[in-house]
Each structure stands twice: as structure tokens, then as C-alpha cells.
Amino acid sequence: MPKIIVYDTGRRMTTKFTLAFAKGIVEHNNRTGGSWEVKHRSIDNYLQDGIPRDYRAGHDAVATLGILRGTGLLLKEAQQRGFDYYYMDHAYFNPGYSGKGWMRVTKNDHACTSIRETTKDRWNGFHKHHGYATNSWRTNAERGGLILICPPTPAICWYYDLDLDWGERIAQHLKDKMPASEHHRIKIRHKPKEPVVDSQGNLIELREFAQQGDLKEDLANAHCVIAWNSMVALEATLAGIPVITGPHSACVRVSFDISLLEKHPVPEEFNTEPLNRSAMLYWLANNQWKMKEIEDGTAWRMLQENYS
């Protein structure tokens, strides 16, 4: 019998969703005769005792929400030891912890980085009608000139062992490759509130950044967006703007390569829409769920199908 522990940090919204996820697995068991043994535990149990000794890599699993307050340590160990893990966080479309908001759940990654052929029913049934539309791909002549760099937060840098100056290094790398007359096009845009963590992934503070212009304005003027994992890349993709991402971005399957900018400040390749753009949006819509769907087992059923 496979076993799964759903870990909770004790914060109200975390508890709400982790309990719903655990309940959903039980509901699915009851409907299908499934055999998963499900436990819901405080993250303190993991921090004190680790993953239970009777858990087997490749057979048993863990689940949690977010990467702070010990959950990041849990996920890192699961990866290192070969345990399956289910990660919950803000959704790709219409994210939120309450009301009509949705949550994404991903197996063995921080975001859904694969694409499988699927129907567009979920996209058409909700996301398309709540302000999410796929705009026509914009050519180089139709886009602005801004090269917008969206660095990972300090928490993501800790989780993925990235340098805290990732954004600055990307900007400098481009300046080293591009003519000086093009340097004014490069802009670094931080998340307005970035979580700063200690060496164990515990939140120290939320560092605020004063923004020069709003995001909507930057995207309207953007030639391309460079982001490790920021959801700004998804907004850009929807708007028909090329993106260059890290390997754990939801947009990695439509990402261009930074070498194109190294060769030419206005790459000809940016004129062509990525073949996977629509397929990626439909697939992401099939990898996020409402609270009710998490609680009634729909999310668990779809996760097993999506990652089969």
C-alpha cells in the first residue's frame, strides 16, 4: 500500500488547502477502491524526525504548500532521495487562496514544465472567460524595445541554489554582448515584495521594491521577457511576447534561448510564434483546481492521469 504524508505549516490558509488535498485522496480512494494510506502532519514532525524511515523512495510520497517554514527542506530531501512529491502554490490563472481563486498542484517540480496533448475544455470553460485571452503573436516591429528581466526572489534563489544577483548578472551578460547603444533597453523588475529567507528557508522579512512604472506598462513596451520562474513570463506569453526562462518555469516549453539576443539585439527568430503556445495554455489549465475539486478528489485523479 503506497503512503503519503501531507505536511502543514499551521498557517490558516495552508491548513485549509493541505487538509483538502489529504481529504481528496481519501475521497478518491473511497470512490475507486484506491489503496493510498494518507496522513496529515505538522511540518514540525518532519523537521524533528525527517521523512519516516518506513517510507520507500519510488513508492511513497509527500505533499505540501509553498517552500517556506521547513517545506522547502522537505521538498529538497524528497528530490535528493527519489521520493515523489506534490507541490501546491498559486495557480497559473486566476490565483488566490479564497473565493473563486484556484491553486496549482505539481508532481515533482515547482511548476508544470511538461506539455501533454489535452482538450481545451477547462481553458474555454473558465480561464478564457475571466480575462485570459491568447493575443496574436506580435512581430518585432509590433513590439517595443524593452528587454525586461524579472529575477527570482531570494526564497527561490535559496531553494534552487541560485546566486542572489541573478538578475544583475543576466543584465551585465547582455551588456557585454550587445552594443552600448542598446544598453538602455535593459530593465530589471523585481517582485514588489520579495521573501527573504535564512539558510533553512525560514522567512526573515518581505523586502519591498519601489517600481518604476507598472507592470502593464512594461509589458506594453517589452521586446522580450527574461525570467527564471516569474509568472510575468506567462503574462508575456499570453500577450504574444517572446520569453526566455529557467528550466522550472511554466513557460519553459515556449522559451527562446538567450543566445539569440547575444547574436542580435532584435532576433529574427522572435517573429515566429512558438508552436507549443496554445497547447501549453490548455495544459496548464488542466493542472490547476478549485478548492472544491481538490477536496472531492478531482485534483488527485487528474494528477494521476496527467503524470501517468
The tens digit of pLDDT for each residue in 73-125 reads 999 999 999 999 999 999 998 887 776 678 999 999 999 999 998 988 888 87
Share of the chain above pLDDT 70, in %: 97
Indicate the pTM of the whole model.
0.93
Q: Same domain, yes or no, for 29 and 47?
A: yes
More confident site: 203 or 5: 5
Number of independent structural domains in the chain? 2
Residues 93 and 192 in one domain: no
Domain shared by 148 and 279, yes or no:
yes
How far apart, in whole angstroms, are the C-alpha atoms of residue 4 and residue 26?
11
Residues 204 and 107 in one domain: no
DSSP H or E segment with residue 193: strand 193-197
Distance CA 90, CA 191 (A): 15
pLDDT at 211: 73
Q: How far is residue 37's CA from residue 252's CA, in Å, rounded to a whole number?
A: 34
Which residue shows C-alpha cell 488527485? 300
Q: Which three cell numbers stand for residue 49?
A: 524526525
Tell me whether residue 119 is in a domain: no
Domain that holds residue 91: 3-112+287-306
Higher-confidence residue of 25 and 122: namely 25
Better-predicted residue by pLDDT, 164 or 208: 164
Domain contains 131? no
The answer on 190 and 107 residing in a single domain is no
297 within 8 A of 27, measured Cβ to Cβ = yes
Check which CATH number belongs to the domain holding 32 and give it.
3.40.50
Alpha-carbon span 111 to 144, nearest angstrom: 29
One domain for residues 167 and 229: yes
pLDDT at residue 95 in the model? 84
Instruction: Please write the tens of the pLDDT for every residue from 47-80.
Output: 999 999 999 999 999 999 999 999 999 999 999 9
> Is the Cβ–Cβ distance between 224 and 86 less than 8 Å?
no
pLDDT of residue 208: 87
Quick one: 178 and 234 in the same domain?
yes
Instruction: Please report which helix (H) or strand (E) contains residue 169, including its range.
Output: helix 166-177
| Average pLDDT over the chain, rounded to an integer | 94
What does the chain come to in residues? 308
Task: Report residue 221 CA to chain centroid gap.
Answer: 24
